[in-house]
Amino acid sequence: MSIINEMKNKVTHTAKSAIQKSNEIVEVTKLNIAMGDAQSRIDGKLKDIGKVIYDIYKSGEILSEEITAKCLEIDEIVQEIDKMKEKLALLRKIKICPNCGKENETDAFFCSKCGSRMDEE
């Protein structure tokens, strides 16, 4: 084989394996994205299951100790969020209706949405 032909073959081989390499990289990337997407879908379903179970807990049904403990932890976080909402409301000079959650002026006696009495704290 002539040197020129040998070089041509080498270049062709290198180009072919470079294409193959980049095809592999594309395939690996596609698979990683697809797996990540599938995992996200599983996480979403698990979250849905969690919400269903938390609703069951909230309806007063007795659940296993482990699940009840987790639900109690969620209750605590919900209370934390409520406290933060109250602080935010104070900072924004608004009052949250205890009945419907509508934001009202701090000096409102009744809710502008549902008409409930705005309790003084």
**With binding defined as CB under 5 A, does residue 97 bind Zn ion?**
yes
**With binding defined as CB under 5 A, does residue 102 bind Zn ion?**
yes
**With binding defined as CB under 5 A, does residue 41 bind Zn ion?**
no
**With binding defined as CB under 5 A, does residue 70 bind Zn ion?**
no
Number of residues that bind Zn ion (CB under 5 A): 8
Instruction: Output the six-digit token pair for 28.
Output: 């690996």
Out of 35, 49, 88, 100, the only residue in the binding site for Zn ion (CB under 5 A) is 100
* Rounded Cα–Cα distance for residues 107 and 95 (Å): 8
Contact window for Zn ion (CB under 5 A) among 20-28, 39-47, 77-85, 108-116: 108-116
Out of 10, 47, 83, 113, the only residue in the binding site for Zn ion (CB under 5 A) is 113
